[in-house]
Amino acid sequence: MTPNRDPQPESNAGAVTRLLGEIESRGPGAVEALFPLVYDELRRLAQHQLGGERADHTLQATALVNEAYLKLVGQTRVDWQNRAHFMAVAAQAIRRVLVDHARHRARDKRGGGAPHLSLTSGLEVADGNRPIDLLDMEDALDRLAQEDPTKAKVVELRFFGGLTNEEVAAVIDTSLRTVERHWQYSRAWLFRELS
């Protein structure tokens, strides 16, 4: 006779994946249960992105997380696969919130004061201490996407999403080696474009 064992507690990633699958059927209940499980990671991503911006930047990490989360759970056409997929879409949402904020701020100042990020925020290029304009980064990513959408996706997931190469490979369903090559190429390409 085997002893009764308590079921193993569900991992955070497992709970996130389960709740993502239940959003459509459970609606607001699943959304409310999901937020505490992903909040810390989303806040870490937000702080990472805001860390390279001007000291007088008005958008705070908490506001960025809340706005991005609302965009995420408001998407009705997403078939959430797992935690990595959620974080990939979160990277897009964070990018969009930051860019919208930068455009609004630049428009208010008639072209001035757009936020800057450091190239060391994940790109790790030679001149990493030079701040870059977020809107310039957005334009460069759009140009890269026209050249090669997969490479642009790798940058978005690494730079805005904070995902590892392994996580990126899983999200875009390709090999780790391909992601590494795309990341290396894209860093050099963006450095050239933003210099």
Confidence band of 164 (pLDDT split at 50, 70, 90): confident
- Residue 180: the pLDDT is 96
Give the chain's domain count.
Answer: 1
Q: Which two tokens stand for residue 153?
A: 């996706």
Is there a domain that residue 22 lies in?
yes
C-alpha closest to that of 83 among 3, 161, 187, 27: 161
Is there a domain that residue 190 lies in?
yes
Question: How does pLDDT run across 175-192, given as a tens digit for each residue?
Answer: 999 999 999 999 999 888
Question: Which parts of the chain are beta strand (E)?
Answer: 116-118, 131-133
Q: Which two tokens stand for residue 156?
A: 């978005």
Question: How does pLDDT run across 8-61, given as a tens digit for each residue?
Answer: 556 777 788 888 777 767 766 777 788 888 888 888 888 877 776 666 667 788
Is there a domain that residue 4 lies in?
no
Confidence band of 174 (pLDDT split at 50, 70, 90): very high
- Asked if pLDDT for residue 6 goes beyond 50, the answer is no
Higher pLDDT, 25 or 120: 25
Angstrom distance (rounded) from CA 82 to CA 76: 16
Is there a domain that residue 39 lies in?
yes
List the domain range (segments joined by +) for residue 80: 12-194
Is there a domain that residue 189 lies in?
yes
Question: How does pLDDT run across 60-111, given as a tens digit for each residue?
Answer: 888 888 888 887 777 666 677 777 888 888 888 888 888 888 777 776 554 4
Is there a domain that residue 131 lies in?
yes
Is there a domain that residue 2 lies in?
no
Is there a domain that residue 3 lies in?
no
